[in-house]
Chains A and B, each alone.
Chain A
Amino acid sequence: MQALDQAALFLIVLAPLAGSLLAMFMSRDRPKDAWYFAILVAAVTLALSIYIFVRYDYTAGGYQLSRSFGWLGAPLDINLSLGVDGISAPLVLLNGIILMGGVLIAQTIKHRTRDFFVLLLALGAGVFGVFIVRDLFFLFFFYELAVLPMYLLIGVWGSSTDFGTFLRTKEYGAMKLMLYLVAGSVLIWIGILALYLEAGQQGVSTFDMAKLSDLARDGGLDPTVQRWIFPLFMIGFGVLAGLWPFHTWSPDGHVAAPTSVSMLHAGVLMKLGAYGIIRVGMDLTPAGAEFWMPVLIGLGTVNVLYGAISAMSQGDLKYVIGYSSVSHMGYVLMGIATLHPIGVAGAVLQMFSHGIMTALFFVLVGAIYDRAHIRDSHILNGLFKRMGVVSFCFAIAGLASLGLPGFSGFIAEFMVFTGAFQSDVRLGFVPMALLAGGLGVVGAAITAVYILRLLARTFFGEADRQWAHLTDASPVEKGVAGAFVLILVVVGVWPEPFLRVINVSVATLLEAF
């Protein structure tokens, strides 16, 4: 136990990274072997992520399982410091689950299978890295590691779609995603350097997030400077979180991406953005965050409504889910911006919950696309007859997405609203938080409209003869979808194991405000 505690965090990044490197040496002609190998690696990381989550002692709080490996000494002071707190522990678990699901679902990848898993595992390693690292330099490093494989994964294994009035090629989707995320990371890097220099002015030249956080909490950072730095983080990370109006890479990316990439993209990659805003923006530049929160909560509200309204008139299933993700990520941003313990905890739970839910959606959409070779919800119909399990799970995901109690999304969104209704984030005398909470509730109703229309149109009713050949989900798809449904229900009925972990670190985070 002691030894594993020491190594757990290091291993969870090392395992997928080493898996990725090892997979490069596997034979190209035996794709099945690559899949089995990837499953093995994903299983190890899943086990580690469960271990880390369970091991986190919520009564003690703070950062745990911490390790630090020295790299560059003063004046740079860059070390590979690792540690999880109650905000990152659920996200580590989320990534473990989604990575496992994504690898399993990638059974259908027949083209250059080995290379696919090399990139997918590298991506997974990057995401784990961001969630557990306590050093800005390495955070940036892992962030890039998570983003770069995305380009190839979409560009090589993606699909191009002709929408009649416009064309979305996989190259376009991949390039746009890439440029967008790199543009975001440029802002983040500027922010990190500015923070480093400003802290250096105060005599604390370091990339160490713990030291920088202490500095900010002790009032060592000039609030004016913080106000200049925070928007860099808010927008830089916000791009990844789908912050309006920097969201268009996301639906287009989904449309082009293969199923397991979409799962990771919406399931965990978008969470990196929101996590970055919390971990870097709020924790290291609290005064800046406080100043900019009315703007963030406003943009989050726009996300919720704009995403939901756009989703309403989309035909392509992936666009529907893509815009729905934009809408749901709005609740995360809104929750963060309430600066209220319940709201921020709700945002973190929403990250977990939305990650599972969207991954479930993409598994199902992928299952449909693999068989019907089309995703247009106006042409598909009566799927329930042909694909009972897929349709049943889609209905459950839909009900979870519209915030039905009994699923985790309800608890999370409810907490976001609860926080918003007691938060006093305001712009002048406009009570932004109250407004956001109220409009957020309306957004959930709009979600009901497009989800129920979609269910009625595409899944229920009589099926055309052209869909007679569709077969139901494969055992692997059933297993993955079933597991996701189970998680949504368990967390929805009994959220306490997550919330007690999240609550303690959110309370620590908000001490700075």
Chain B
Amino acid sequence: MELAWLIPVLSFIAFPIIVFWGKRLPGGGAPLAIGAIAAGFALFWVALLGFLAATPDTEHCLTDAATGTLACNFQRAWFNAGLPGLPDSVALSWGMTIDPLALAMLGMVTLVALMVQIYSLGYMKGDPHFGWYYACHALFAAAMLTLVLADSFLLLYVAWELVGACSYLLIGFWHERPAAREAAKKAFIVTRLGDVGLLLGILLLWREVGSFSMTAAFELAHSGEMSHGVATASSLLMLLGAMGKSAQFPFHVWLPDAMEGPTPVSALIHAATMVAAGVYLVARAFPIFQYSGDALMAVAIVGLVTALMASTIALTSTDLKRILAYSTISHLGLMMLSLGAGGYTAALFHLLAHGFSKALLFLGAGSVLHSTEQQDIRHMGGLRKAMPLTALLFSLGAMSLGGIPILAGFWSKDEVLSAVSHGLHPVFIVLALVTALLSALYMARAMFVVFFGPSPESEHHDHPVHDAPLAMAAPMVLLGVLAAGFGLISFNWPGSFGGIGSFLFYHEPEGFHFTWWLGILSTILAVAAFAFGYLVYVRKSLSLEGFRRSFAPAIRVVERKYYVDELYQWVVDRVVMVFSRFIALFDRAVVNDVLVNGPANSARRLGVAMRLHVTGHVYSYALVMALGAAALAILWWWRVA
């Protein structure tokens, strides 16, 4: 199990090698990156088997009181802040915790990263910066894997920032395009704003706990010795970080723009893994959030608002990748909502199922873009004939996320809904169901318009549309299998495997529970949504024109994404930059010209004025001397008298 160290380290070693010697390596360094992550995936199985065999008596392992699960911890010294041995010092380490949560993330991240890197062989073929692309992927994988293994908040923050930097580099991969450049900048700055919260939250916990160890903080919260105010404040601050990374309202603005990056990047970073880090953080710090209680409510509200907002925008967007991006935001919102409702297992199950399905969808979309060089769904249609495999797999992913039964998304979404219905006010479950319906609707729209609807007649392609080549098709097929069948791990297989709830849980192992009324209701909603989409976009037997006309103003607001981007732009231009210019001017005009040059100029003017007295005439000197002597004489006479 201790070999899990190597999982991030291998990719980390691959990074500089590809950067410096990539051009000389076979395949531009890509095989090295892929080999590193493949080895990581293999080591994940080693770690998983090791963990399943471990008991609380195994060395390094014990049952964590705060989470109730078995956790194994391994440490390597890093550096000492403060002199070791003194009360104020803290020794920091590269430490990893292997517990069910970490393993679940580890498996998903290594698998999706491996698939996406193989897919990129086909997708990025011939790109002039092919090596740099793979170098960034390797660094990203290393950082993301460190993030899920980290046992201290410091290490988590380190990895957290590094994945953000990789995201920046990869969104801006085609930096000649102004939109990509702006999107990269925006993504980094917006998430960085959230990270201010994360770092402050971590520091606040440090102030309370006196260490950066997660276990120590969770123990303190679990035992009730942590101040309630600190728990609430620090978890709300950490939530800000999670909202930035997971693109929750109002920090969601960067994610749709991030679609300017290469599509495989969107699949890996901006759908399956990095954006899920926010959800992971809340799940990881769950003992503190739960102890606070109020913070958990905030998580639920943020999640619900985000889910609703994003799913409505997804319905109006006409850009295939942006539809998927808003769908990602919406599903991340659902995961947050589930966590807020106390549905820990449900949220993580949905995280995994969504990860596979959404990666598949993005790779499918990438296959479409690769071949049609078109991103606007208004210019697409009927691609089913030209690319049958992509059509099949994309539909599978869409229906999985739309909640069509027996596909992965159906089971996980049902778990989420079930958690919400148990843990929160009825308003939440009603709105969650609305979100579920919307999510099926926009998925149906994308799928039917692109692959099954009539092809737009004006379109003609320079080269014939083709299906995905093998390097791209193979990963999609594997993800397709997962998107279809992953839900089966939720079942309580008789005897052998207790279902995901008995592996990945918080305090209480959960059997598989299916809330019948919710399952049936959500199935009806999903099927209805897909049928509706079929009628509107394929058969064209229903028209939305009337609806569009009667709700035109409302639709415009949604189409303009609720004007959130405009608001940000206004704040940056009219508040931040104006203030900055004011300070810069103040610095020059007041601090420099008045306070610094002022005394200097006065000194010079004084000098100029005084100079006039130095006339060089002996008579005037004699006169002044005489006057002085007289004055002294008078003074002396006065004193004596």
Contacts and interface: CB of A to CB of B under 8 A. Distances in A.
Contacts of A176: 596, 600
B188 A448 contact: yes
B592 interface: yes
B325 to A, nearest CB: 21
A441 B196 contact: yes
Interface in B260-280: none
Interface in A444-494: 444-445, 448-449, 452-453, 455-456, 460-462, 494
A406 B158 contact: yes
A506 interface: yes
Contact of B83 (A434, A460, A494, A503): A503
B80 A441 contact: no
A187 B206 CA distance: 39
A41 B144 CA distance: 46
Contact of B80 (A346, A418, A503): A503
A506 B83 contact: yes
A200 to B, nearest CB: 34
Contact residues of B: prevailing secondary structure: helix
Nearest to B164: A404
Contacts of B192: 402, 445, 448
Interface in B162-190: 162, 165, 168, 172, 175-176, 178, 181-182, 184-185, 188-189
B199 A314 contact: no
B425 to A, nearest CB: 34
Nearest to B169: A395
A399 B165 CA distance: 8
Given A245-B591, A310-B580, A179 B88 contact: no
Contacts of B90: 342, 418
Interface stretch (B456-464, B546-554, B557-565, B581-589): B581-589
Contacts of A506: 82-83
Interface residues of A: mostly helix, strand, loop or mixed? Answer: helix
A452 B88 contact: no
A309 B583 CA distance: 7
Interface in B50-103: 77-84, 86, 88-90
Contacts of B182: 456
B181 A342 contact: no
A142 interface: no
Interface stretch (A103-111, A205-213, A257-265, A409-417): A409-417
Nearest to A461: B181
B228 interface: no
B78 to A, nearest CB: 7
Contacts of B579: 309
A441 B199 CA distance: 7
A238 to B, nearest CB: 15
A245 B200 CA distance: 27
Contacts of A345: 81-82
A421 B157 contact: no
A486 B67 CA distance: 41
A101 interface: no
A6 B242 CA distance: 56
Nearest to A306: B583
Contacts, number: 139
A192 interface: no
Given A245-B595, A405-B162, A460-B172, A411 B79 contact: yes
Interface string A494-513: 11100110011011000000
Interface string A390-429: 0000000001001111100011001101100110000000
A446 B576 CA distance: 10
Contact of A248 (B207, B576, B583, B592): B592
A166 B588 contact: yes
Given A309-B580, A404-B162, A340 B88 contact: yes
B258 to A, nearest CB: 14
Nearest to A452: B185
Contact of B203 (A399, A418, A444): A418
Given A442-B196, A445-B193, A503-B80, A341 B203 contact: no
Given A310-B580, A421-B203, A496-B79, A456 B587 contact: no
Nearest to A248: B592
A391 B394 CA distance: 40
A504 B584 CA distance: 40
B203 A437 contact: yes
B581 to A, nearest CB: 5
Given A341-B88, A404-B165, A418-B206, A314 B188 contact: no
Contacts of B203: 417-418, 421, 437, 441
B204 interface: yes
Contacts of A456: 181-182, 184-185
Given A405-B157, A503-B89, A495 B580 contact: no
A219 interface: no
Interface in B400-426: none
A479 to B, nearest CB: 15
A128 interface: no
Contact of A500 (B80, B178, B195): B80
B200 A461 contact: no
Contact of B181 (A166, A314, A403, A460): A460
B1 to A, nearest CB: 25
B188 A460 contact: no
A500 B79 CA distance: 8
B81 A499 contact: yes
Contacts of A313: 577, 580-581, 583-584
A438 interface: yes
Given A456-B184, A503-B82, A441 B200 contact: yes
Contacts of A406: 158, 162
Contacts of B83: 341, 503-504, 506-507
B179 to A, nearest CB: 11
B165 A507 contact: no
A365 B339 CA distance: 49
A309 B577 CA distance: 9
A503 to B, nearest CB: 4
Contacts of B432: none
A249 B207 CA distance: 37
Contact of B175 (A312, A402, A461, A507): A461
B257 interface: no
Contact of A341 (B89, B189, B577, B592): B89
Interface centre among A403, A421, A506 (most CB of B within 10 A): A421
B79 A310 contact: no
A318 to B, nearest CB: 14
B359 interface: no
Contacts of A453: 185
A346 B159 CA distance: 21
A461 B176 contact: yes
A384 interface: yes
Given A442-B196, A445-B196, A461 B178 contact: yes
Nearest to A308: B580
B540 to A, nearest CB: 43
Contacts of A179: 600
Contacts of A180: 596
19 contacts: A180-B596, A248-B587, A306-B583, A310-B587, A342-B81, A342-B88, A402-B192, A405-B161, A410-B158, A422-B88, A444-B196, A449-B189, A452-B189, A456-B182, A460-B176, A499-B81, A503-B81, A503-B84, A507-B86
Q: Which 9 A-B pairs have the closest CB atoms?
A: A405-B158, A460-B175, A312-B580, A507-B83, A313-B580, A341-B82, A496-B79, A503-B83, A421-B203
Given A452-B188, A495-B79, A503-B84, 14 more contacts: A245-B591, A312-B580, A314-B584, A346-B81, A404-B165, A421-B207, A434-B207, A441-B200, A448-B192, A452-B185, A456-B181, A494-B79, A496-B79, A499-B81
Interface of B: 77-84, 86, 88-90, 154, 157-159, 161-162, 165, 168, 172, 175-176, 178, 181-182, 184-185, 188-189, 192-193, 195-196, 199-200, 203-204, 206-207, 210, 576-577, 579-581, 583-584, 587-588, 591-592, 595-596, 600
